[in-house]
Amino acid sequence: MTSQICASCDKPTSMPVVVAIEHSASAGGRPIYACPEHASRFPQQRDPLAELASLRRARQLGSA
């Protein structure tokens, strides 16, 4: 993998960790990287597909 810039310390890292996906109206998502040292500082991202599946199950069971 190529070197990326850490979103926390703004330094290049040769072991980047994807910590988020940035979305915009005019383009698709792009990954946000952090170095392994700072990756734990970012909140865990929610999986929208898992949330949709959970809502669908709740509606089928009549609890939503």
* pLDDT class of 1 with cuts at 50, 70, 90: low
| Beta strands 17-22 and 4-5, pairing class | unpaired
CA distances from 61 to 2, 31, 39, 51, 54 (A): 47, 36, 37, 15, 11
> Do the Cβ atoms of 30 and 19 come closer than 8 Å?
no
Output the pLDDT for position 64. 53
Per DSSP, what are the bridge partners of residue 35?
Answer: none
- Assess whether pLDDT exceeds 70 at residue 63: no
3 state SS of 37: coil
The string of pLDDT tens digits covering residues 5-60 is 999 999 999 999 999 988 877 877 889 999 999 999 998 888 888 889 999 999 99
